[in-house]
Structure 1
Amino acid sequence: MTSSSQTPTRMHSYQNSVAQDTKHNNGGAGGSNLEDYSSMKIYYQNCNGLRSKEKRIEFKNNCEQGPYHDFICLTETNLNDAYKSEDYFGEEYKVYRNDRPKRHPKTSGGGVLIAVRTPPPNRKEKFKVISRKDFNLEFEKIIENIKKDLVEDERHKLNYEMIENIWIDVTLPTCSLLIGNHYIHQEVPIGTIKTYCEFLERKIDSSAFKVLFVGDFNLPEFNWEAGTSTNVNSTIRNKSSLFYKLFCHLKIKQRVSHSTLNCPLKNILDLVVTNFQLDIERGDEMVKLEDIHPSLLLSVPLPKFSIRSDTIINQNEQFVNTNSFECTCTACGRECKSIQGLIAHQRNATCKELLVSSKLT
């Protein structure tokens, strides 16, 4: 690993973004590196390893220059304890990692992470995030309990560590969003996948949460609309069917298509699966890779105003149950703690945000 002095000069530093953000505070987001309260940006990439000096420098340079993403989801990081998160991310990101353990049958590769951007000190946060390690701990316990009843020769068919995933819970103004980032190696035993899918069917209540699966699932030649596979390998077909059954049970839909990626991919390996609408486009790569794993930029719409559940507002400026009123403008982040303040902001603010609350659909 190289020292910090060898990292390229930061072209758009976090402190500079704070200063610019303050300057534009009364006029909306103002630019791609400033706070945007109208949507949540999620970047995804299978980076095929980040250990090399060249990739580390390339990644951190792109991360620090911006534009900033609210979340960065990476698969196949190939990191371990010798590689620190701060070698790749600036101070504005909190990083949740699940590196491939030494006990994994494949000693190299793998690893997933989610980096969460915290807002500059002078801006209101868009969301709150907590780690959901209970997903990993509960699945591990289930696998170990099942293995107790198996003969030695059968135990290798169940290995919780081969399902590489990391989950977080994002609290938004009108809902909670579960994000699960996955890397599923081609050689994960089908028994492990079956157990994992059955676990998630019980674990996730998609009627109570917005749900987002991202990651490299290594399920080629599967038609997610029809639920059919043209792959000649029966094991791959069966694995695909297990995940398709899970997604149907959770009422979530695979959103990535060839037209979305705008490239002649025969197979889509990197999936985005949700129970809500979002915009997906190819993103600028943070590290250069082949087209089989294009980077994706997801844009999730946020409510135009965050309204506490005990406050109801309509467009005629009539209010019902206005106790403990609190509202935040999505364009400039201003907090309004009174009805009069909210009305004045709507009438006078340069951002011209509407006085409505809209949920993710």
Structure 2
Amino acid sequence: MTSSSQTPTRMHSYQNSVAQDTKHNNGGAGGSNLEDYSSMKIYYQNCNGLRSKEKRIEFKNNCEQGPYHDFICLTETNLNDAYKSEDYFGEEYKVYRNDRPKRHPKTSGGGVLIAVRTPPPNRKEKFKVISRKDFNLEFEKIIENIKKDLVEDERHKLNYEMIENIWIDVTLPTCSLLIGNHYIHQEVPIGTIKTYCEFLERKIDSSAFKVLFVGDFNLPEFNWEAGTSTNVNSTIRNKSSLFYKLFCHLKIKQRVSHSTLNCPLKNILDLVVTNFQLDIERGDEMVKLEDIHPSLLLSVPLPKFSIRSDTIINQNEQFVNTNSFECTCTACGRECKSIQGLIAHQRNATCKEILQSPTPPITIPQQVLTTKSQQQLVLETTSQGQHVLTTTSQQQLVLLSLR
């Protein structure tokens, strides 16, 4: 258990952070920067197991006292069905877990989760989170199909359960953020890693999402700027090269540096890989660990958007002919029926073609849309490259204006 001499200092640090967070956001204790969409706060830590009573109490106390994070990503949780998420998180968090399966070669350890904090009621609908279980299901199917053509001695080199990961898709008004939290054990066969990297190359469209990889990849002594390894173990060098090739293909960059962690190259095991700039700093550990796994606090900047105010268009007005958008995204039936949904929704290329500005990829052919109240709106691209809805009285709604 944490000693009494350490505890007051630990809690004092958190209480100071809560006060600063409240002052910054003017939204009460634990207010989130999501209110103005300037940034999102993501906490990451390899916690090296949460089963003990001491760690459970320490973690939940720190989780409840703050500072509050929009997302908490943990690796090596070492949890199973006997350990409930509510024993660690308050009711304001929805927890997505992928515990180590019983068929994993290593029976203990591992496990990843992402906890999502529910925003305050006044901004409850401003972002949505979808669990992307399709990543795991599709990778499992690929591995099992490959193993059918292998002899028995080769099949053990492919094991989808050894890639411990969990993915979520966060939809915000101005972008979609894809988060993948990983724990890659040192003994994952290189054939499994190669297959996983090839799968992600095909699966992820980094031009359609902000992409964030976090996690413990166990790839020490690799220079992510130069793409070179000084590790004497050839297997580790080859694994590092596979992930480096994947990141290059997706045009995403490893962001954790020596200055961030204040540690030598060989100790950079926990990675943050993105296709966008963000701020990274060492955070206060929610459970105290050795320096080899420092906790990280990520501040993800988000573009702001504005809507023309000189309009009488009801933002919640429902369209009758939603199919005019010719959008194949499965979520559009829910989210693009209203003008507000059209503004917010950018989950696939067709929606992005409608919404992106100030320079849209294409000019949208003029379309007449009819709402349920029989109001007719003209959707078109202006000569300035803005996508607008115009009423019959010539009042305009600029769909998206980034600044």
Name the TM-score, length of structure 1 as normaliser.
0.78
> In the aligned structure 2, how far is the partner of 1:335 from the partner of 1:245?
36
1:132 Cα deviation from its structure 2 partner: 0.2
Over 3 Å counting, the alpha-carbon distance change for 1:106 and 1:311 in structure 2 is: farther
Greater mean deviation of Cα atoms: 95-104 or 28-37: 28-37
In the alignment, what sits opposite 1:287?
287
Query: Which shifted more, 34-43 or 166-175?
Result: 34-43
Give the gaps of 5 or more residues in structure 1.
none
Q: After superposition, what is the alpha-carbon deviation per residue over 1:94-148, rounded to whole angstroms, capped at 9, x for unaligned?
A: 0000000000000000000000000122434442110000000000000000001
User: Paired residue for 2:224?
Assistant: 224
How far apart, in 1, do the equivalents of 2:46 and 2:333 lie? 33
**Alpha-carbon distance, 1:192 to partner:** 0.1
Gaps of 5+ in 2: 356-397
Contact 2:72 2:116 in 1 (8 A): yes
SS of the residue aligned with 2:8? coil
Match of 2:236 in 1: 236
Change (3 A) 1:157 1:124: same
Worse-superposed segment, 345-354 or 209-218: 345-354
Contact 1:331 1:353 in 2 (8 A): no
Judged with a 3 Å threshold, the aligned counterparts in structure 2 of structure 1 residues 310 and 174 are, in CA distance, closer, same or farther, namely farther
Contact 2:208–2:347 (8 Å) recurs in 1: no
Secondary structure of the residue aligned to 1:12 is helix
Q: Is the 8 A contact 1:312 1:320 kept in 2?
A: no
Distance 1:124 1:228, change over 3 A: same
Question: Offset of 1:70 from its aligned partner?
Answer: 0.3
Q: Deviations over 1:200-246 (max 9, x none)?
A: 00000111111000000000100000000000110000000000000
RMSD of aligned Cα (Å): 8.5
Instruction: Tell me which moved more, 307-316 or 321-330.
Output: 321-330
Q: Give, in whole Å, the separation in 2 of the partners of 1:63 and 1:286.
A: 7
How many residue pairs get matched? 361
Change (3 A) 1:170 1:315: closer
> SS at 2:194's partner residue?
helix
Please give the alpha-carbon distance, in whole angstroms, between the structure 1 residues aligned to 2:353 and 2:265.
40
Per the alignment, residue 360 of structure 1 pairs with 402
Cα deviation for residue 301 of structure 1 reads: 1.1
The structure in which a higher percent of residues are helix is 2
Range with bigger deviation, 336-345 or 247-256: 336-345
d(CA) in 2 for partners of 1:114, 1:189: 25
Contact 2:34 2:40 (C-alpha < 8 Å) held by counterparts: no
Percent sequence identity over aligned pairs:
99
Q: Which moved more, 1:329-338 or 1:269-278?
A: 329-338
User: Are the aligned partners of 2:96 and 2:115 in contact in 1 as well (CA < 8 Å)?
Assistant: yes
TM-fit CA distance, 1:266: 3.5
Q: Output the TM-score relative to the length of structure 2.
A: 0.70
- Check whether the contact 2:97–2:112 (CA below 8 A) recurs between aligned residues: yes
**Structure 1 residues 316 and 117: CA distance shift in structure 2, 3 A:** closer
Q: Deviation per CA, 1:162-218, whole angstroms, max 9, x where unpaired?
A: 000000001121111110000000000000000000000000011111100000000
Q: How far 1:26 sits from its partner (Å)? A: 7.5
